[in-house]
Amino acid sequence: MWIPEVKKGGDICMDLQDTMYHNWIQVAWQWIMCQTSVKRLKRPLFSHHADGIFGPFIVRQSLQRDPNSHLYDYDLDEHILTLSPWSHKISAYSLDFQRNIEVSSILINGEGSYFVSDPQSRTRSQLPKTRFSVKWGSRYRFRIINSASLDCPVQLQVESHNITIIASDGAPVKSTATSHLLLFPGERYDIIISADQAKSSYWIMVRGHHQCENLHQEAMLVYDGAAVLHKFTEATKSSLSVSKPYSALSAAMKKTCPNVTDVTCRPQEIKELHSRKPAELQASEVDMKLFIPFDVYAYDGLNDTDVNFHFMLDEPPYYPSYLYNTKIPMQLPQVDRLTFKYPPSPLLSQPESVPQGMLCNSHCRHLKFCECLHVIHTPLNITLDVVLVDEGHGSNHSNIFHLHGYNFLVLGSESLGRPVDVAELKLNDSLDLLSRNLKDAPRKDTVVVPNKGYTIIRLFTDNPGYWLFEARSASSVIGAGMQFIIQVGEQIHLPPVPQEFPRCGLHKGPSYIF
């Protein structure tokens, strides 16, 4: 596994195309230039991610600038742990990917055993496990990444060891000791493991939930000079599950939250390390509030006269072909009943080339199905609260959202246990009934919105540009799914487009049958 690393504040030049980055916040520049060549970043296909085209990108800061550096002794390249669901089937070949997702295993750094037939058979292949070496008496920083493209929250724990959380999504947090860690897709946590137990080999165990239910994977934490374990037994698995620190926590989780994807099920409650924030982020009043509802909706009754099976020069007045020829109604996740449609040209460098008819408007909203370019404009340099609302009529799953270009404060979250009315939430908010943590809210870029509930985030819009706000869940693999763009500021606030920057467009010829 190739892991590119740079020091914070350093320059980097990479000749990469079709690449998406998480937590690379581009401030004062939106272009990647390598001498005379320029490469742009664009979103890869979902199936590419599901089939393994991803990897960690590590930016290290100096120990002097890391407020938690006194808590660990080593931060090594080999202590990066990437978790990823894996399937025997290549998802790029599946034309009905939404209904044919079969996860065979959860891999740790691309390694691990898998179920030979299905998880219920309990028959697993015997393949090598990833090993992490430590020396007794030292403290190690581990960087944990849930790279799942599917709806696979994962729980991680280390046999006979507690762990200490020191960072989340690249932002330092107050050190928090816990027995295990819960990561949702797209989340990253930095933890400390102290090698203070008897010299031996210990299991690092990962359990899957939701689409990875009943799946587990193991790696080895090997002390210097200790024998290496070779076989993971059900007895070892059981001993991990009933260890004293975990049993009480597990009982509390089952009692308070039966759904593991609910944000209240997290074993860790992280807090901002520095309580001193800019005044605008601690204010009780903000400049602007956005309520963003989303849900899963059923679409059926579409036929040949509705669906577009052509490539056309002009925008076709038809619905996308994936809505047709299904035996049951197509279940589609949407933001505010809108399905996101990518523009033919980049908004950043060619806003004049994007047809105005692509933008979401009242006409589109009155159609059977609305697929459009969903852009929400906000002024520059304001305090913005975004309330993500899971209406909960069409699904019982929580959702994970990721914002490009910003970190934000997670002020609060709640599941109401029933379908949510956005008008009711707005009324409650006007009466100050939605609580906000303005003291030590954690700073993140990926957040869980509980089913039939809401999550409130806050940011200061000081980074102009067009920033994608996307849901990371398997239900969004058909079409562009639950996404929208937040436009911060105006075009005049952006850096000028570099000379000879590539231009993009539809490049379609006359209409012909596909």
Tokens of 77: 């390249």
Across all residues in the chain, what is the average pLDDT? Answer: 78
Of 242, 265, 288, which marks where a domain is finished? 265
φ/ψ (deg, to 5) at 436: -130, 130
pLDDT recorded at residue 490: 95
10 CB burial (10 A radius; 0-12, 13-18, 19+) = exposed
Of 241, 265, 289, which marks where a domain is finished? 265
**CA-CA distance, 503 to 344, in Å (whole number)?**
10
Segment (H or E) for 50: helix 46-50
**CA-CA distance, 200 to 154, in Å (whole number)?**
25
Other residues' Cβ atoms within 10 Å of the Cβ of residue 42: 12
In single-letter form, the type of residue at position 1 comes to: M
Of 239, 265, 291, which marks where a domain is finished? 265
* Whether residues 290 and 176 fall in one domain: no
Percent of the chain having pLDDT more than 90?
A: 38
* Whether residues 249 and 348 fall in one domain: no
Using H for helix, E for strand and C for coil, what is the string for 473-507? CHHHCCCCCCEEEEEECCHHHCCCCCCCCCCCCCC
Helix count (H) and strand count (E) of the chain? 6, 30
pLDDT recorded at residue 460: 95
Q: Is residue 51 part of a domain?
A: no
Q: Is the pLDDT of residue 215 over 80?
A: yes
pLDDT recorded at residue 154: 87
Split at pLDDT 50, 70, 90, the class of 231 is: low
Q: Is residue 12 part of a domain?
A: no
Helix (H, G, I), strand (E, B) or coil at 98: helix
In single-letter form, the type of residue at position 486 comes to: I
Q: Is the pLDDT of residue 159 over 80?
A: yes
Q: Is residue 45 part of a domain?
A: no
Split at pLDDT 50, 70, 90, the class of 280 is: confident
- Is residue 176 within 8 Å of residue 271, measured between CB atoms? yes
Report helix angle 244-256 to 234-241, nearest 10: 70
Q: Which residues contact 290 (CB under 8 A, 6 or more apart)?
A: 376, 378, 384, 385, 386, 387
Q: How many residues are given for the chain? A: 514
What are the pLDDT digits (tens) for 126-153?
677 899 999 999 999 999 999 887 788 8
* Whether residues 213 and 296 fall in one domain: no
Q: Is residue 26 part of a domain?
A: no
Number of domains in the chain: 2
| pTM as predicted | 0.82
* Whether residues 227 and 361 fall in one domain: no
Q: Is residue 35 part of a domain?
A: no
- Is residue 23 within 8 Å of residue 188, measured between CB atoms? yes
Q: Is the pLDDT of residue 2 over 80?
A: no
Half-sphere exposure of residue 121: CA atoms within 13 angstroms, side-chain side: 9
Q: Is residue 47 part of a domain?
A: no
* Whether residues 208 and 329 fall in one domain: no
* Whether residues 102 and 133 fall in one domain: yes
- Is residue 322 within 8 Å of residue 341, measured between CB atoms? no
* CA angle 221–145–5, rounded 5-degree value: 95
* Whether residues 248 and 318 fall in one domain: no
Q: Is the pLDDT of residue 210 over 90?
A: no
Distance in Å from the first CA to the final CA of the chain? 39
Split at pLDDT 50, 70, 90, the class of 479 is: low
**CA-CA distance, 385 to 290, in Å (whole number)?**
6
**CA-CA distance, 145 to 446, in Å (whole number)?**
12
Split at pLDDT 50, 70, 90, the class of 105 is: confident
Q: Which residues contact 292 (CB under 8 A, 6 or more apart)?
A: 335, 336, 386, 387, 388, 389, 469, 484
Split at pLDDT 50, 70, 90, the class of 230 is: low
* Nearest of 290, 293, 289, 288 to residue 422 by alpha carbon: 293
* Whether residues 291 and 380 fall in one domain: yes
Q: Is the pLDDT of residue 514 over 50?
A: no
**CA-CA distance, 226 to 265, in Å (whole number)?**
36
What are the pLDDT digits (tens) for 375-427?
999 999 999 999 999 999 988 888 899 999 999 999 999 999 999 999 999 99
What are the pLDDT digits (tens) for 35-51?
322 322 334 455 555 55
CATH number at residue 352: 2.60.40.420
Q: Is residue 167 part of a domain?
A: yes
* Whether residues 185 and 304 fall in one domain: no
Split at pLDDT 50, 70, 90, the class of 173 is: very high
Helix (H, G, I), strand (E, B) or coil at 165: strand
* Whether residues 261 and 283 fall in one domain: no
**CA-CA distance, 176 to 107, in Å (whole number)?**
26
* Whether residues 284 and 396 fall in one domain: yes
Mean pLDDT of 242-268: 45
Tokens of 418: 């029933």
φ/ψ (deg, to 5) at 111: -125, 160
Residue ranges of alpha helices (H) inside 318-377 are 362-365
pLDDT recorded at residue 366: 85
Q: What is the DSSP string of 215-274?
A: -EEEEEEEETTPPPP----HHHHHHHHT-HHHHHHHHHHHHH-S-TTSGGG-S----BS-
Q: Is residue 420 part of a domain?
A: yes
**Domain span at residue 381?**
279-513
- Is residue 130 within 8 Å of residue 220, measured between CB atoms? yes
pLDDT recorded at residue 324: 63
Strand partners, 389: 293, 454
* Whether residues 344 and 238 fall in one domain: no
Question: How far is CA 330 from each of CA 119, 224, 337, 404, 428, rounded to the nearest angstrom?
Answer: 27, 54, 14, 29, 34
